[in-house]
Structure 1
């Protein structure tokens, strides 16, 4: 009797296994097209952007900057504290994951504020002649030329830089950089007028008036600039 019972349980288990395998086989053909489409999407060829330039043109542009900009910058800048010559920067580095994450973050914040990112605007800038930034982080190379990235949105057929205001209750609003307190006067950054102009790599937290925690900058800087140390792909 016990043997018959065991055989019965074995038969039931076998029947369930066959049934499951049969269902898997039936569903496989339905899922194959979607899987193939996903693979095709992943392997889709990306065409070169129209903005790509030749290596020869890049070399010419690099040399032109050396002669007409970098040499002039180095000429008017005083030597460093240790007496060494001031060297103008030629490039800035971001690792590719940082760039991807930045774009994703900017698009996320813009979407939540109900606007569309039109462009990423690169502003030339210069670090202050100080040891520390207003956020108390060290200025690695005072007076060094740099750049920062500012996303823009469309306003009356013009692209204008913006930041995000948190209105509470999960609501966000895009506001123009030019309307931020202190931007269009000498209150931003250093009280010294000359240094205020040179300290272009700002974030809203550098204003002399208290910033509301709901104001979120989308400006990216904090990159690795070079030289120094002096190394370049073009000379």
Structure 2
């Protein structure tokens, strides 16, 4: 009888030990969901075709219109701008965060073509690396009356925020911001690094500060 009890205790202890070990095992990791290719992706040959079309119908026109640089070298139109993947992730996360606090939903990210002014620095004293260089800036949009509009954030105080349309910001529609007296060799534009924070507590969501090229010239398609 004692032997049976001893064997029973041993068997029960083994069962408990095995059960505890099984509980300590981490669950099998789930395989990540495979992302399908976005419908907006185009073929490499298509990219080459539209790249060449821009070269002939836009880049060459810009270069022929612009005067030589101060050192006498030929003006070269920019063809691309680089943002790191982390910068883009952080930008999207920040835009969505601010929009959520303002109670709105971001609909799109809009890319505007732009041109740096023919000056050494912006009004906030930040240096312009390549005056007259063509560039782009990114601005998020919200839907109003079934139309997407670029927006910024108005700080109302006490941590409250609301989204407001950039087109309604003072000075925008009458071109009082970013305009400049230029010769027929260069063109007026909204200042690409347009920063609402420089004028008030309002918060800009426009991103521009990036690495444009050329210069330096690092071609991918020719």
Tell me which interval the TM-score lies in, with the shorter structure as reference length. 0.7 to 0.9
Aligned partner of residue 198 in structure 1, secondary structure? coil
Which structure shows the bigger proportion of residues in helix conformation? 1
What's the counterpart of residue 63 of structure 1? 52
User: d(CA) in 2 for partners of 1:81 and 1:75?
Assistant: 16
Cα offset for 1:27? 5.0
Displaced runs of 4 or more, over 2 A: 20-29, 189-200
User: d(CA) in 1 for partners of 2:101 and 2:69?
Assistant: 46
The answer as to whether partners of 1:79 and 1:85 remain within 8 angstroms in 2 is yes
What's the counterpart of residue 221 of structure 1? 208
Normalising by structure 1, report the TM-score: 0.80
Aligned pair 1:197/2:188, yes or no? yes
Number of residue pairs matched by the alignment: 206
Q: 2:139 aligns with which of 145, 150, 158?
A: 150
Say what the alpha-carbon RMSD is for the aligned residues: 2.4
What's the counterpart of residue 199 of structure 2? 211
Q: 1:84 aligns with which of 66, 73, 78?
A: 73
Q: 1:173 aligns with which of 156, 162, 167?
A: 162
Aligned partner of residue 151 in structure 1, secondary structure? strand
- Cα distance 1:160–1:24, how it changes in 2: closer, same or farther (>3 A)? farther
Aligned partner of residue 70 in structure 1, secondary structure? helix
User: d(CA) in 1 for partners of 2:36 and 2:67?
Assistant: 46
Normalising by structure 2, report the TM-score: 0.85
User: d(CA) in 2 for partners of 1:152 and 1:205?
Assistant: 16
Q: Which runs of 5+ in 1 are unaligned?
A: 1-17
- Cα distance 1:89–1:169, how it changes in 2: closer, same or farther (>3 A)? same
Q: Which runs of 5+ in 2 are unaligned?
A: 1-13
User: d(CA) in 2 for partners of 1:204 and 1:196?
Assistant: 20
User: d(CA) in 1 for partners of 2:191 and 2:106?
Assistant: 22
Q: Deviations over 1:5-47 (max 9, x none)?
A: xxxxxxxxxxxxx9x9789557558x83xx64xx23xx11000
